[in-house]
């Protein structure tokens, strides 16, 4: 099962275990530790007193007491001392020891805060990388739903350079499309109105808008755009040979569903099913559903996650998405970010998710 990165208060989560970023005394403190003890009540402190503390990099388990989870796994992260004093190895050890305990207690779901990234001063970006690497490494071997809970948005930040690069790419693509249209009414029959090149719609809305918006004339002055009657979209004439091939190809695969196309691609790539759904960050049960239901309709995020796992080119991704009834459009920030990563050959779902998160977009997988 996958890793999910969520923004929440960990004490509110209903899962089998939550992990506490504790100190060696295990007797409570500030940050997430303080919040967990406060929400769990005095019973947790009583139980912690019997544990005899905990060393850095190790983990101990208690009941959840008044919390909505069954267990609390207390682990002690390293204090940041410049990064040359074994901090990384100790932090890795926290995640591994906690996941081992969760496994021993047959937890199916466990939630982690970003250990050491608060009071203990571990740089958030690096703390996040250690967390994601350790958890994904564990998930290759084990079935568990792991939440990584980021409390504040700054805990989950891609590097400034990557952010700026993606932002520039988005700007470029928006320039390419020139103008967006947004429907003015909710009933599906509303007229499209010009809203400018920089306005960004959320994925679902932009998807609908992209499908429903009439084509527009690129040479029109912005102020005139809303008055124009629909005109045919500009297309670049493709060579006849390519068109014939595409047509024949399209006809041959016309009836292929998303599920069939996905399974065919997995075979063509020589991947196993499990390697594919794990790389896609997709739940095994969900994959089984897709496998067994030839007409299964995945969400757009799931369909793209598979395209990423299969390392499809942009055109192949579009073909696969089409099977599920979706398209990639330049009027969606989400879609442009996906395009950014695919065209750079970066097929790491977690890195893509970090970028999507930074731009307030829905994440891939699940």
Show which residues are catalytic.
33
Nearer to ligand AR6, 31 or 318 (CB): 31
Q: Does 123 bind ligand AR6 (CB under 6 A)?
A: no
Residue from the set 29, 92, 96, 316 that interacts with ligand AR6 by CB under 6 A: 29
Give the separation between CA 329 and CA 333, rounded to whole angstroms.
9
Query: What is the closest distance, in whole angstroms, from the C-beta atom of residue 327 to ligand AR6 in the complex?
Result: 37
Binding mask 56-85 for ligand AR6 (x = CB under 6 A): ---------------------x--------
Determine which helix (DSSP H) or strand (DSSP E) holds 270, and give its type and residue range. Answer: none
Q: Does 148 bind ligand AR6 (CB under 6 A)?
A: no
Q: Which of 302, 298, 328, 299 is nearest to 211 (CA)?
A: 328
Q: Does 21 bind ligand AR6 (CB under 6 A)?
A: yes
Query: What is the closest distance, in whole angstroms, from the C-beta atom of residue 142 to ligand AR6 in the complex?
Result: 23
How far apart, in Å, do the first and last CA atoms of the chain sit? 8
Determine which helix (DSSP H) or strand (DSSP E) holds 25, and give its type and residue range. Answer: none
Q: Does 13 bind ligand AR6 (CB under 6 A)?
A: no
Nearer to ligand AR6, 33 or 339 (CB): 33
Give the separation between CA 311 and CA 180, rounded to whole angstroms.
30
Nearer to ligand AR6, 118 or 203 (CB): 118
Q: Does 115 bind ligand AR6 (CB under 6 A)?
A: yes
Q: Does 118 bind ligand AR6 (CB under 6 A)?
A: yes
Residue from the set 2, 5, 23, 355 that interacts with ligand AR6 by CB under 6 A: 23
Q: Does 4 bind ligand AR6 (CB under 6 A)?
A: no
Radius of gyration of the chain (CA): 24
Q: Does 120 bind ligand AR6 (CB under 6 A)?
A: yes
Residue from the set 109, 155, 281, 301 that interacts with ligand AR6 by CB under 6 A: 155
Q: Does 40 bind ligand AR6 (CB under 6 A)?
A: no
Within 8 A by CB and 6+ apart from 249, the residues are none
Query: What is the closest distance, in whole angstroms, from the C-beta atom of residue 50 to ligand AR6 in the complex?
Result: 18
CB atoms within 10 A of CB 41: 12
| H runs (alpha helix) in 178-299 | 203-212, 240-252, 258-268, 273-279, 284-292
32, 10 contact by CB (below 8 A) = yes
| H runs (alpha helix) in the chain | 31-40, 42-49, 87-104, 124-141, 160-177, 203-212, 240-252, 258-268, 273-279, 284-292, 300-309, 314-323, 333-343, 349-358
Query: What is the closest distance, in whole angstroms, from the C-beta atom of residue 23 to ligand AR6 in the complex?
Result: 3
Query: Could you list the residues that contact ligand AR6 (CB under 6 A)?
Result: 9-11, 21-23, 29-33, 35, 77, 113-120, 149, 151-152, 155
């Amino acid at each position: 099962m996958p890793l999910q990165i969520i923004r929440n208060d960990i004490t509110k989560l209903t899962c089998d275990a939550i992990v506490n970023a504790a100190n060696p005394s295990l007797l409570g403190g500030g940050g997430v530790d303080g919040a967990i003890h406060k929400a769990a009540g005095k019973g947790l402190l009583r139980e912690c007193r019997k544990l005899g503390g905990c060393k850095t990099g190790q983990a101990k388990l208690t009941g959840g007491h008044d919390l909505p989870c069954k267990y609390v796994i207390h682990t002690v992260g390293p204090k940041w001392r410049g990064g040359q004093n074994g901090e990384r190895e100790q932090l890795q050890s926290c995640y591994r020891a906690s996941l081992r305990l969760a496994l021993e207690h047959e937890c199916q779901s466990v939630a982690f805060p970003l250990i050491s990234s608060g009071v203990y001063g571990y740089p958030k970006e690096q703390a996040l990388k250690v967390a994601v690497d350790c958890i994904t490494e564990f998930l290759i071997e084990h079935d568990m739903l792991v939440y990584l809970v980021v409390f504040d948005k700054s805990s989950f930040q891609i590097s400034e350079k990557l952010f700026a690069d993606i932002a520039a790419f988005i700007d470029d693509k928006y320039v390419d499309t020139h103008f967006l249209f947004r429907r003015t009414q909710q009933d599906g029959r509303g007229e499209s109105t010009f809203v400018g090149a920089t306005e960004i719609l959320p994925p679902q809305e932009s998807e609908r808008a992209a499908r429903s918006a009439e084509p527009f004339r690129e040479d029109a002055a912005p102020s005139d755009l809303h008055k124009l009657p629909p005109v045919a979209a500009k297309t670049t004439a493709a060579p006849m040979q390519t068109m014939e091939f595409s047509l024949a190809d399209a006809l041959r695969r016309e009836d292929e569903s998303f599920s069939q196309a996905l399974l065919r691609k997995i075979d063509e790539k020589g991947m196993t099913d499990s390697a594919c759904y794990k790389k896609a960050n997709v739940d095994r049960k969900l994959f089984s559903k897709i496998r067994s239901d030839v007409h299964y309709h995945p969400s757009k995020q799931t369909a793209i996650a598979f395209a990423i796992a299969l390392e499809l080119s942009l055109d192949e991704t579009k073909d696969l998405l089409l099977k599920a009834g979706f398209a990639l459009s330049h009027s969606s920030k989400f879609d442009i970010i996906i395009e950014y990563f695919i065209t750079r050959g970066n097929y790491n779902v977690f890195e893509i998710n970090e970028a999507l998160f930074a731009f307030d977009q829905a994440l891939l997988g699940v």
